[in-house]
Amino acid sequence: MESIAIFHELENQERLDYTIDFLNKHPLLKGKFAFVANPDSMPDQCIWYGLDEDDSICMPAQEVFFSTKKVDSSQYNANPYTHKNKTVYSVEELSKSSTDFLFNGDFCFDVFEAIFFHISRYEEVFAEAKYNNKAGWLEEKDQFLVRNQLEKIPVVDHIISTLILALTQQSIDTKATHSISHDIDIIARFGSSTQMMRTVVASVYHRKGLSNFFQSIGQVFKYISGSQKDPYDVFDWLITDKSNFTEKTIYFMTGGETEHDNRYDIKDPKVATLLQLATQRKYEVGIHPSYNASEDTDMHIGETATLAKVSNRKIKKSRQHFLRWSWDKTPEIISQSPIDQDSSMGYNRRLGFRCGTGYAYHLYDFKTEKAYTWTELPLAYMESSLIHESEKTGKSVEEISNAFSDQNKQSTHIEMNWHNSNFDESLPHGNMLKSLYHKILNEV
């Protein structure tokens, strides 16, 4: 293991220490390189951070996001810096055109603050409530990475690989890893005969034309006659037995108090069958807390306890329904719950890396200036976000997904979420999503 010293004279060093800890646990660096702040001895590699030292490698200290004074980052820019064939992006107030990452042997922007800005979710934590979306967090289009059209690449993972290359001339790039999950929001389309009638009537009211009406009637008859399974019952192929994933998780809902919740009963025999299948195929079971549970400790903990009881296992993983998240409350609720990994940091309207990294890490608690004890596995890829992006841009789901995969073959992790309810052949993207899903399973 090689040590890399960071010499600095920062007054408040908690945020730099957190960033160094993040780096030392990062899968691209782990076991190979370790950063250490102000060591007594002088290792081979040193960065003089915010200090001028002749004949040594220096890096400017921006002292914005590491300072405890709150800053409005809504006008900050991502300036491109290049090294060999790699480009990395800063988080700076002034806009600059493309320049070298290393100039005369010194780094040209503050890498540590840029990493901290993304992984701490600084801009979201300090965003005014009026700029938040329905899910409870900063509107996607106003987020730094989306504003700068950089959400499709893991800017933080790229900075790390480029920093090591520039410092040591060694490449730490590795093949991207993948994990897979399914949020079970609804288990069957046709639960009862009234639900079936509603489906047919809704196809007339909400959808276009008579062809859809006849298709819906056709689906209902095929289902009643037993010649077709429920269109949401795709579990035999959705729940994959492939072992190339670092994690496989199925998230169930057990409660709720809004129209977005309670679309099945956790005690339904269909759930028991699905649990059995998922267990056979080596999935872990997680809780999908209901709409309002992101702001209610008792609900969150109660719903998790119900799932633990029904499934007869410990529940350690969680992903918020609709990715609902209140920066004031949700992290605290998770800290008080038995959950040790959340996976809600994704976009609802597009594919991409909301935290700049695809790998799991600890989020930052600005109140205590310390890392939370649980980890966050960012959600980079969700098929419902892909559908939204396709409808917004006019590009097909396949085109968007392929471009995303092509851009992210190296040095990151992609956590995916696929819902069982979006492969229905009566939905506009149903069949294309099904073939896309099978293609991805074969490629991973």
CB of 261 to Zn ion, least distance (A): 9
- Closer to Zn ion by CB, 62 or 384: give it: 384
Q: Which of residues 156-185 bind Zn ion (CB under 5 A)?
A: 183, 185
Whichever of 183 and 383 has its CB closer to Zn ion, that residue is 183
**Range list of H helices, 374-444:** 383-393, 397-407, 430-443
Is 302 in a helix, a strand, or coil?
helix
Site string for Zn ion, 22-61 (x = CB under 5 A): ----------------------------------------
d(CA 437, CA 354): 22
Beta-bridge partners for 284: 249
CB of 123 or CB of 185, closer to Zn ion: 185
CB of 171 to Zn ion, least distance (A): 39
Helix (H), strand (E) at residue 405: helix 397-407
Q: Which is nearer to Zn ion, 152 or 354 (CB)?
A: 354
CB nearer to Zn ion: give 319 or 429. 319
Applying CB under 5 A, the span of 5-13, 43-51, 145-153, 313-321 interacting with Zn ion comes to 313-321
Q: Is the separation of the CB atoms in 358 and 157 below 8 Å?
A: yes
Smallest distance, Zn ion to C-beta of residue 381, A: 15
- Exposed/middle/buried for residue 142 (C-beta within 10 Å: 0-12, 13-18, 19+): middle
**C-beta separation of 66 from 15 below 8 A:** yes
Alpha-helix runs per DSSP H in 14-71: 14-25
Contact track, Zn ion, 321-340, x by CB under 5 A? x-------------------
Q: Based on CB atoms, which residue is closest to Zn ion, 300 or 321?
A: 321
From the CB of 321, what's the least distance to Zn ion, in Å? 4
CA distances from 35 to 38, 170, 335, 373 (A): 10, 16, 28, 21
Size of the site for Zn ion (CB under 5 A): 3
Task: State the amino acid at position 110 in one-letter form.
Answer: D
In terms of Cα–Cα distance, which of 260, 336, 324, 247 is closest to 293?
Answer: 324
Site string for Zn ion, 127-156 (x = CB under 5 A): ------------------------------
Binding site for Zn ion (CB under 5 A): 183, 185, 321
